[in-house]
Structure 1
Amino acid sequence: MLGKEFLALLSKNIGIAKGKSIDQSFGGINLIVCGDFHQFPPVAVGASEALYYPSDAINDSVESHVGRAIYKELTTVVLLKQQMRVTDPVWLDFLRHLRAGNVQEDHLTILRTLLVRPRKRSNPSADTANFETEPWNTALLVTPRHAVRRQWNDEAIHKMCSSTGRQLYVCPAQDRYKGRSLSLSERHSLALHLSKKTRKKKKNSMQKDLPEEIELSIGMKVMVTNNIETDLDLTNGARGEIVDIVLDPEEPSVGNEPIVRLKKLPSYILVKLSRTQA
């Protein structure tokens, strides 16, 4: 979410680019601000930087006052009331109360029923979760940690291939820059950069660098991370499953080995989405 100072700076820079007077917000262009102000505060600044937060005449900066004034110029408000993702009416009711900070006791009761307790060997018959059976053995993990996400995915695909007998394809990454392959000098610079980072930090795999290899298998769960085609529900967060992997015609014969290291990228990967308008 935008903060007041950032909004003022953005307006100033656009006004300069348009060659308009700084007295005219955003250089006089039309402006549409989208978002849910109840969801997240501005990043890396104080809570008072939120656009809806009243200005403090003594403590706020000039830019903060300007940003607040610009925000108050937005007098036409459109509320989107139709929920397009959540289909469970009980969960939707909880989310709406949570958004307004008005959670009731019955909502807390619902949340407590979702607490997961691992099954103990000393009492396997207790009413606890058995992570070896449905639905827990296919449960999704939501985590803000990049390293945890990577380790979880690696373990999940190896476990899936082991239990189903499907082949695991290991694809080498092909780095590109602005849609083209890297030149020899660029490859050399990248290799030196990665080598220095590896020496500097042994746990390089835990960083946010893109992986040098990608593991794929038929039956693997995947998720869309960009809005590709909103009309077809190919949007950020859409989930699906790999149903086919067509290898490059020049790929050497892979045989029946459980783990196959490909020399070339697959020709294409066919994914069946869980929900789509296609």
Structure 2
Amino acid sequence: MENENVLSCSVNIEWSNSQGIIQRKLAHKSAFLRLIRSDVREIFVEVTAGKSVPVKLQLKGISVHNKFMSEGKASIKFQEVHCIMFISNAPPSQLFTFLKTVFVKMTGEKSASNSNPSLRTQLLSNKPAKFEEISPVTLGEMEKAKAKISKGTDTTPSPLSRKRKLSPREGGKPLSSKRLYASSPTPNEPLDIEQKEVMEACLSGRNVFFTGSAGTGKSYLLKRIIGALPPDVTAATASTGVAACHIGGITLHQFAGIGTGEATLERSIELASRPGTYTIWRRCKHLIIDEISMVDGAYFEKIETIARKIRRNDQPFGGIQLILCGDFFQLPPVSKGKNPIKFCFETEAWSRCHLSSYELKKVHRQNDDEFIKILNCVRIGQIPEDMATKLAETSRQNIEKNGILATRLCSHTAEANTINESKLDALSGEKQVFTSEDSPPHLKKLLDQQTPIPHKLELKVGAQVMLLKNINIATGLVNGARGVVKSFEGDFPVVQFRNREYTAKPERWCIKTATGAMITRKQVPLKLAWAFSIHKSQGLTLDCVEMSLGKVFEAGQAYVALSRAQSLDTLRVLGFKASQAWANKKVLDFYRSLNLQMETMRLIPLGRKENKPTIKKTFKSNSKLMSKPLITIN
């Protein structure tokens, strides 16, 4: 469990005079911030780094800038002493927790700071101060801070920002306080036991590969891992653009800087030695790769060699910690020409990395035990007759509701596009066109590749659509929810979803470039959904889906398609046959070997304590800060 009172980060502190001229600077590339309290109950932040003398700054009359928490950046301005502290390279989740603790503790100190000093305070004021770490935030303090936020107290933004008229969306509440109190830059649901094991392994510095069937929370856990690592030295990548966008990262090809990887090794090393790419490779300490199953084995070997050459380090990947995530039973690498598919686990590079392997087994997407068992059998291509019959029987189900038709999953993208275009043209009424706002505009093609949202969206009343962003999880407005356009209200489509009506207003998607720059697309979060390709559906949860698997051409395609459904009740499979679902033999052999090793090496008893065995677990695989403050606390 992370300590909410301590933050590891890079720190720059500047002291200036009353005219704003900087008088003194202090910079630490690696430092710890700790919240402490003096014996007269004053709260300080203590900065320690190496053998340097700790610096203590009282948290009084401060302004906190927290807009860039998701990038591990923030600043605290100590107005009374003309000092500002710039925080960078902090693990985003750790930074969020730290600033939230500051906010809650300072909010609780308001009433005390305005009262007259106690007799105890007066008696101790002339003695040397003693400090201790502040106590953890209590439920009472959280509720007290929440109550003050809802009332719009003096913990709201500074006078300058108070003058700004709050939009209806902000609800008249201080945006900054709400941001710190309720909105984490990383997911904040508690991890289960399996996920905690993986998290601990990643934070310990080991090379890790974790896998699991569809819906076991792999991407969710990956976001938590990314949030727990320092961003300046962490590269979050994925094999596809949409998967990279989902975890807030970039594609592996962008990171590697060698294009498609088809050049010779010598030429690829030259490409990776260009100044920008060279710096990225040298700076990286943690390389995360999502959807590893779709990374070609030859490409994986090539970048592993490049990492050693560029970093002048003979360790695997040049000493970079490797965190791999994916399910090899799902979509494989795209085959090039007549060359056979080569998975990453078949390479010598994979074996050299000595990956600690984990498998997540708890399914979060589906709650139906019967459906989960069916999916597990489909995953390995071994479907008993009764399960095949159960899937075939879904062809007679009526899963439509409120005019929402089932999304047809197609094995080919071109087929899905043709269906959507023809269905839209067949509707009567005027077509409404929604064009995205891209920043910068000339990167439209890159945004098309790496975001799920189209640059140009054409809709009519009656159009079947899919929501592409989590808007309100509690009411079912989630990524993958199905709906139908009922009308247009001003410039926005009104969509009837299965459980409620929603006026779809533009949302923002942000992706990083290899150099760390942010590019954005703002668009209505909808896409035509009469049909979707199986490839494009990976990662989605669909609440109304139909498919015919007669044209599947890859191992794992049928499994990916079926596992998009929430339950058997929201699924319709046309003409299902057990022969339509199969697994790659290499993948089956890999998982057999992996599971055998994890089973035989997982539990090693080391003795007994209080009549209970102590267990040691081992794992082995087979082979810009803002210009104005967002929070002011006096």
1:86 pairs with one of 366, 385, 392 = 366
Match of 1:26 in 2: 317
* Structure 1 partner of 2:431: 169
CA contact (8 A) 1:20 1:28 kept: no
Displacement of 1:44 in angstroms is 1.0
State the Cα distance separating 1:178 from its structure 2 match: 4.9
**Matching residue of 1:200:** none
Q: State percent identity of aligned pairs.
A: 25
Match of 2:190 in 1: none
Aligned-partner Cα distance in 1 for 2:341–2:413 = 29
Say which SS state the counterpart of residue 141 (structure 1) adopts: strand
Distance of 1:81 and 1:231 partners within structure 2: 27
Task: Specify which of 408, 421, 445 is matched with residue 154 of structure 1.
Answer: 421
Structure 1 residue 146: Cα displacement? 3.2
The 5-angstrom pairing of residues 113-152 of structure 1 reads 113-115=393-395, 138-152=405-419
TM-score, with structure 2 as normaliser: 0.26
Contact preservation (8 Å) 1:94, 1:103: yes
Sort the Cα spacing of 1:235 and 1:35 in 2 relative to 1 into closer, same or farther, 3 A: farther
Partner of 2:304: 11
Aligned counterparts of 2:383 and 2:395: Cα–Cα separation in 1: 18
Contact 1:4 1:68 survives alignment (8 Å): no
Indicate the SS of the match to 1:77.
strand
Q: Distance in 2 between matches of 1:3 and 1:103?
A: 28
Offset at residue 104 of structure 1 (A): 1.1
Q: 2:308, 2:316 within 8 Å by CA — same for their partners in 1? A: yes
What is the aligned partner in structure 2 of residue 70 from structure 1? Answer: 352
Letter in 2 for 1:110: K
State the partner residue of 1:179: 440
Aligned length: 197
Deviation of 1:241 after TM superposition, in Å, equals 4.5
Please, which runs of 5 or more residues in structure 1 have no aligned partner?
54-63, 117-128, 183-209, 250-265
Counterpart AA for 2:321: N
Partner deviation per Cα, 1:33-81 (whole Å, 9 max, x = no partner): 100122233321666622344xxxxxxxxxx43x24235x10x223222
Deviations 1:22-42 (A, max 9, x none): x21122121111001222333
Determine if contact 1:170/1:213 at 8 Å carries over to the other structure.
Answer: no
1:78 aligned partner, one-letter code: Y
**1: distance between equivalents of 2:454 and 2:471?**
28
Distance 1:68 1:78, change over 3 A: closer
TM-score, with normalisation over the residues of structure 1?
0.52
In the TM superposition, residue 181 of structure 1 has moved relative to its aligned partner by 6.6
Instruction: Give 1:216 deviation, angstroms.
Output: 1.3
CA offset at residue 142 of structure 1? 0.8
> Which among 312, 326, 334 is matched to residue 43 of structure 1?
334
Runs of at least 5 residues in structure 2 that lack an aligned partner in the other structure: 1-293, 444-452, 493-503, 507-523, 527-540, 544-634
What residue is the counterpart of 1:95 in the other structure? 375
In our comparison, the structure showing a higher alpha carbon Rg is 2
Instruction: Name the amino acid aligned to 1:11.
Output: E
| Residue identity in the other structure for 1:87 | N
Contact 1:173 1:212 in 2 (8 A): yes
Aligned partner of 2:390 among 99, 107, 110: 110
| CA distance in structure 1 between the partners assigned to 2:332 and 2:505 by the alignment | 43
Q: Secondary structure at the match of 1:111?
A: helix
Bigger RCO of structures 1 and 2 (CA < 8 A, at least 6 apart): 2
Could you report, residue by residue, the CA deviation over 1:103-147 in whole angstroms, capped at 9, with x for unpaired residues?
21111211332347xxxxxxxxxxxx99xx979982221113333
CA shift at 1:95, angstroms?
0.7
CA offsets, 1:190-233, max 9 Å, x none? xxxxxxxxxxxxxxxxxxxx9996421355332255xx569958
Measured in 1, the distance between the counterparts of 2:301 and 2:456 equals: 43
Query: Alignment partner of 1:223: what SS?
Result: strand
Distance verdict in 2 for CA 1:84–1:245, change over 3 Å? farther
Q: Which amino acid aligns with 2:413?
A: H
Closer, same or farther: CA 14–236 of 1 in aligned 2, 3 Å: farther
Q: Report the equivalent of 1:216.
A: 459
Would the aligned equivalents of 2:505 and 2:525 in 1 still touch at CA under 8 Å?
no
Offset at 1:86? 2.4
CA distance in 2, matches of 1:215, 1:102: 42
Structure 2 vs 1, CA of residues 38 and 270 (structure 1 numbering), >3 Å: closer, same or farther? Answer: closer
CA distance in 2, matches of 1:33, 1:91: 28
Matched-pair contact (CA < 8 Å) for 1:243–1:270: no
3-state SS of paired residue (2:418): helix
Task: Assess, with a 3 A threshold, how the Cα gap between structure 1 residues 267 and 135 changes in structure 2: closer, same or farther.
Answer: closer
The alpha-carbon distance between structure 1 residues 91 and 81, as it changes in their structure 2 partners (threshold 3 A), is same
Q: For each residue in 1:131-180, what CA deviation from the matched residue of structure 2 results, as whole angstroms up to 9, or x when unmatched?
A: xx979982221113333323322343455x54xxxx43331757x77523
